[in-house]
Amino acid sequence: MNPQAKRPVRYGATPEEAAFYRDLVARHGSPLLVVSREALRRQYQSLQHQLPGVSLYYAIKAFPHPAVVETLAELGCHFDVASEGELELLRALRISGRKTIHTHPVKKVDQIKAALRGGSTTFVVDNLDELKKLTPWRHRVGVLLRVAFRSPSAAVDLSRKFGCLPEQAKALALEGQAAGFQVRGLSFHVGSQSTDPATHVAAIEACGRLIGEINREARHPLATLDIGGGFPVDYAQAGFDFDAYFAPIREALAALTDDLHLIAEPGRYLVAPAVRAVSTVIGKARRGDRQWYYLDDGIYGSYSGQLFDHAVYPLQVLRDDRPRHPAVLAGPTCDSIDVIAEGLELPELEEGDLVIGHLMGAYTAATSTRFNSLNAAKVVVVE
């Protein structure tokens, strides 16, 4: 976590915006996480537009909320699940397990059984021991092999923990097929908040070559490529050029043989821009030459992603009518690491003033804790 990190702050709000936030707090209390279905739909449509021909599987872990899952399901989105609880969420919404892939490379046998009961029939593995766990169901399930590609530009490098080496993929595919498994394709996840498209491009090209090599010897040709998640959002608010980011990825996909079924597992890109955090100033103190403001949400709550996900969220204060001074925003727990941001310049805030966190859908509520027995921010769905 880096509370010192340079972070975008927006000062002031339109009267409509301010009224919108104040009205939500008057009705629902504080702290809140405000889910905009409209923004979620926009993100889904934007990704469909950027990656035409790619089936999208929302990675539920990013923000496992029924309203998010339901809204995406209405648009035709599929789902990436990694646990029984995530399947349970789909079941409660009567969404078929057939619309899922189970992407956790390491599973308990009980989890495999639960996934099969839920109707999930595609599983990701990255080694023979994991593949063997699926032996009793090998005629019923399809298997994707996860390949690791290291990602220097991603905020969270997931290829350290999962994925076989590219040079192991062929042997694994052929041995799997020889043992009677329906090995259908390859998958990778370059890591989350990957801001350099070259990482995806290199992995797509490498997988294209591997599939070609494997298919020269395979009993059944591999026909699926799952390009994972990792697509970024603009936390820095510095005008990130999404068209320029996606263009080379699109070109790399277009250069693959046309008969490949393409899948992606976006989490952050779909949900981060769809959620704002609304917190209230509950106390203030002058310490040295800095003004401290204590909010009713913090690092143990919705801002937990600053710790686990290395995110630096853009902030907004509703007022802009006073001179700015050096300020610190801290969370409500008794722990001293519970500081959201230092080195800010803020207008003098009062108890009851609201602070808005933007782009707060991904890995926020999902990782918040009940430390100090504080309640989680209430999730409110709008539009």
Ligand X SMILES: *Cc1c(COP(=O)(O)O)cnc(C)c1O
What are 334's two structure tokens?
């008794």
Residue from 21, 55, 79, 80 binding ligand X (CB under 6 A): 80
Q: Are 131 and 143 in contact (CB under 8 A)?
A: yes
C-alpha of 3 from chain center = 21
DSSP alpha helix (H) spans, the chain: 15-28, 37-50, 66-74, 84-92, 109-117, 128-133, 166-178, 197-217, 242-254, 268-271, 305-308
**How far does the chain reach from its first CA to its final CA, in angstroms?**
33
Q: Which parts of 243-262 interact with ligand X (CB under 6 A)?
A: none
CB of 378 to ligand X, least distance (A): 23
Q: Does 267 bind ligand X (CB under 6 A)?
A: yes
Region near ligand X per CB under 6 A, out of 68-76, 128-136, 225-233, 249-257:
225-233
* Number of residues in contact with ligand X under rule CB under 6 A: 17
- Check residue 372 and report its DSSP letter: G
Interface characters, 151-190, with ligand X (x: CB under 6 A): --------------------------------------x-
Our finding on whether 145 is near ligand X (CB under 6 A) is no
What residues numbered 341-370 form the site for ligand X, per CB under 6 A? 362
- CA dihedral in degrees (215, 221, 224, 227; nearest 10)? -10
Backbone angles phi, psi at 11, to 5 degrees: -105, 130
Shortest distance, CB of residue 232 to ligand X, whole angstroms?
8
Give the nearest residue (CB) to ligand X. 229
**For residue 339, is it left (φ>0), alpha (ψ between -120 and 50) or beta?**
beta
Q: In terms of CB distance, is 269 or 300 closer to ligand X?
A: 269
Q: Which is nearer to ligand X, 188 or 293 (CB)?
A: 188
Residue 164 falls in the annotated catalytic set? no
84-123 footprint of ligand X as x/- string (CB under 6 A): -------------------x--------------------
**Structure token pair of residue 3:** 């509370």
Q: Which residues are catalytic?
A: 334
| Binding-site ranges for ligand X (CB under 6 A) | 59, 61-62, 80, 103, 189, 192, 228-231, 265-269, 362
